[in-house]
Amino acid sequence: MIYLDNAATTGEKPVEVKRAVLFALNNLSANPGRGGHKQSLSASEAVYGVRDKLSLFFGAGGPENVAFTANCTHALNFVIKGILKRGDHTVVSDLEHNAVTRPLKSVTDNISVAKVSFSDDEKTADNFEKAIRDDTKLVICTAASNVTGKILPLKKIGAICRKKGVPFLVDGAQGGGVIPINMKEMYIDYLCLAPHKGFYAPMSTGVLITEKTIAKTVIEGGNGADSLSLVQRPDMPGGFESGTVSLPNIYGIGAGIDYVNRVGRENIYRHELSLANYLYGKLKQLDGVLLYAPKPENGVFAPVLSFNISGMDSEQTADILNRHNIAVRAGFHCSKFAHEKLKTTDSGTVRVSPAVFNKKGEIDYLIEIIKKYEKNR
């Protein structure tokens, strides 16, 4: 299978990630932050070490600011529902994933949507600035669109938020580990991550990073602290880690960060973007192919590309590719906003998202198949 659905989850994991997960299962199977026996303390040390790696990678200010959640969606829910009260005004981009828009909608209808320009980051930042009001309680934006790959100007938006005193939440599901994200430099107050994408880690562990407070948690339970109290304090990180964390996954995240640091985030990004760019150039030459964003230039787009074969439903195209052993994602990618922006709510799009392990020959094969069906459509 040629796996090109890495924006959903990376299909191939580095050998060191697999080894780390197995090592954790064999040697660290104890509950961190609970017991006082050696195995529990070793597990706690291991988790703490990965918090530290994440803190360093994202300029988070310390391992105590890093919480492990069930996934990025849960992390976003913690922030959105922990900060906002019913009816609070919030600003979001028009490329947000449902992981942002659905929890937000459950809390408030008082939402302003800032348009993202594909070609002018100043314009995008200006749209955010205009949308922020005196009573705005939170600004949320994705680091990079999971449909178009567009990277948002986080530093510009963050600077506006800081100037206006509004907390800034970034959904780093697509950007974390792929594009540069530094919380301090970009004035990010809350960062949520999906390490199974950018760090090639196992699925089902997300990350919430913040130095700020969150007024309440939305999932209570045992967390190893204040056990005689029936009220759970929303302190980072334990206040957002009710129940047992997935130590094998967390240890795998640590190995994934080491992998990205060893190969070089910039090198990985350059490779993935070159494949997306190459594909874009070839598809652009085909009359029967629809593209929805400009050429994915360095620093402007993450390696995610949407297209359609004219006259074909995106699911039909993905099914044909699947029969040729090529894995891509069709449909609406859990993003009502992005597909409304692209005017693809009827057809959806076919999304191609290469990773570090993909090769140019695989893209050539994809192009060959697309050409065949594009001609005969």
Partner 1 sequence: MENKIAIGSVTYALKGRDVLRKNGYRVGIERKPSKNSGGCGYSLKFTGDLQRAKDILDRHGIKYKYGE
Residues that bind partner 1 (CB under 8 A): 32-36, 41, 44-45, 48, 51, 62-64, 223-229, 235, 237-238
Q: Which residues contact 321 (CB under 8 A, 6 or more apart)?
A: 327, 328, 350, 366, 369, 370
Least distance CB 236 / partner 1 (angstroms) = 8
- By C-beta, is 36 or 165 nearer to partner 1? 36
Q: Give Cα 365 distance to the centre of its chain.
A: 28
- By C-beta, is 26 or 229 nearer to partner 1? 229
- What does each C-alpha distance from 231 to 21, 224, 227, 240, 242 come to in angstroms? 34, 13, 9, 13, 12
User: Residue type for 47, please?
Assistant: V
Q: What CA–CA distance (Å, rounded) separates 181 from 143?
A: 8
Task: Give me the residues paired with residue 141 across strands.
Answer: 170
- C-beta separation of 217 from 82 below 8 A: yes
- By C-beta, is 246 or 335 nearer to partner 1? 246
Least distance CB 89 / partner 1 (angstroms) = 31
Least distance CB 105 / partner 1 (angstroms) = 33
Least distance CB 54 / partner 1 (angstroms) = 13
Least distance CB 44 / partner 1 (angstroms) = 5
Least distance CB 49 / partner 1 (angstroms) = 9
Q: What CA–CA distance (Å, rounded) separates 100 from 105?
A: 9
Angle between helices 15-27 and 247-263 (to 10 degrees): 150
Least distance CB 192 / partner 1 (angstroms) = 19
- By C-beta, is 43 or 173 nearer to partner 1? 43
- By C-beta, is 136 or 232 nearer to partner 1? 232
Least distance CB 230 / partner 1 (angstroms) = 11
* Residue 61: HSE in the Cβ half-sphere, 13 Å Cα cutoff: 14
Q: What CA–CA distance (Å, rounded) separates 44 from 48?
A: 6
- By C-beta, is 68 or 301 nearer to partner 1? 68
Q: What CA–CA distance (Å, rounded) separates 250 from 65?
A: 15
- By C-beta, is 64 or 94 nearer to partner 1? 64
- By C-beta, is 61 or 180 nearer to partner 1? 61
Q: What CA–CA distance (Å, rounded) separates 257 from 251?
A: 10
Task: Please provide the distance, in angstroms rounded to a whole number, between the alpha carbons at the two ends of the chain.
Answer: 25
- By C-beta, is 52 or 313 nearer to partner 1? 52
Ramachandran area for residue 149 (φ above 0: left; ψ -120 to 50: alpha; else beta): left
Q: What CA–CA distance (Å, rounded) separates 100 from 147?
A: 14
From the list 213, 174, 221, the residue with the least C-alpha distance to 78 is 213
Least distance CB 38 / partner 1 (angstroms) = 11
